[in-house]
């Protein structure tokens, strides 16, 4: 199982990467926008410094046409580092670019997936990750769990070297449902994870354990 952070916020990454079992970081232009008009490539290189090379870094292309997407992917690899996974929207032009980049031996993440059709085309193209947009799919009444489970079945059946990295989560239940349905990886905002762990039920349980020990032994530490 892989957990990734869907953010480009350096403070959140510095604080939370050491605390959580994180496998990588994903970004897209809308996530970058939240950081303001940053110096993009140095910012991405700083994210790499924070997460190291043992974690994966996924950065999105901007062009719509196949050659433009291929050029963007090379820009990301040249300007950030050669271990970056270019994230490519799963359009006709995107699929053609993914095919070319895979021929070149480049790791690719297929993004913007709302349907089984986009998913199986990306799997057949040989991408490394595919990113179904859980909340966005659910908002337009697409069967998120069924889509992920079908795609996971295709990956198993054809022994495809591809992982489903579900994205676009608005609550932690969606994350669990994606994993239950067969997603191999999930990418989410660090704040979503932190909010889930900040439930009063969890903190109350810890308080009660310590209070009970103190009532018994008159101390709050183990002997
Ligand atoms: O990684 C893709 C994801 O960031 C899309 O999320 O919140 O814009 O639906 P959202």
Structure confidence by residue, pLDDT tens digits, 55-64:
999 999 999 9
pTM, two decimals, is 0.95
Ligand 1 pocket residues where CB is under 6 Å: 6, 26, 28, 30-31, 131, 133, 135-136, 167-168, 187
Locus of tokens 């697409």: 142
Contact 162, 122 (CB under 8 A): yes
Q: How far is the CA of 167 from the centre of ligand 1 (A)?
A: 6
Q: Collapse the DSSP code of 31 into the 3-class scheme (helix H, G, I; strand E, B; otherwise coil) and give the result.
A: helix
How many Å apart are CA 59 and CA 51, to the nearest integer? 14
Q: Which whole number is the average pLDDT over 186-194? A: 95
Q: 202: buried, middle or exposed (CB in 10 Å: 19+, 13-18, 0-12)?
A: exposed
Query: Percent of the chain scored above 70 by pLDDT?
Result: 100
34 is catalytic: no
* Ligand 1 centroid from CA 136, angstroms: 8
pLDDT for 33 equals: 98
If you take atom 3 of ligand 1, which residue's CA is the nearest one? 168
Q: Are 149 and 181 in contact (CB under 8 A)?
A: yes
Ligand 1 atom with minimal separation from the 87 CA: 1
Q: Which atom of ligand 1 is nearest to the CA of 31?
A: 4
Give pLDDT, residue 206: 95
Residue 113 C-alpha to ligand 1 middle, in angstroms? 11
């Amino acid at each position: 199982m892989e957990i990734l952070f869907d953010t480009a916020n350096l403070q959140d990454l510095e604080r939370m990467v050491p605390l959580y079992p994180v496998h990588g970081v994903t970004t897209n232009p809308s996530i970058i926008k939240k950081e303001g008009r940053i110096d993009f490539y140095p910012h991405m290189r700083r994210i790499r410094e924070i997460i190291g090379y043992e974690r994966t870094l996924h950065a999105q292309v901007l062009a719509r046409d196949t050659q433009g997407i291929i050029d963007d992917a090379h820009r990301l690899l040249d300007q950030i580092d050669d271990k970056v996974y270019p994230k490519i929207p799963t359009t006709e032009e995107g699929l053609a670019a993914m095919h070319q980049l895979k021929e070149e031996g480049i790791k690719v993440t297929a993004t913007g997936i709302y349907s089984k059709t986009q998913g199986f085309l990306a799997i057949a193209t040989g991408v490394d990750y595919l990113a179904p947009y859980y909340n966005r799919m659910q908002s337009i009444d697409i069967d998120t769990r069924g889509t992920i489970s079908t795609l996971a079945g295709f990956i198993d059946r054809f022994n495809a070297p591809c992982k489903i990295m579900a994205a676009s989560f608005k609550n932690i239940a969606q994350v669990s449902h994606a994993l239950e349905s067969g997603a191999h990886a999930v990418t989410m905002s660090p704040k979503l994870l932190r909010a889930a762990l900040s439930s009063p039920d969890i903190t109350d349980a810890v308080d009660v354990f310590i209070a009970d020990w103190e009532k018994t032994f008159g101390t709050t530490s183990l002997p």
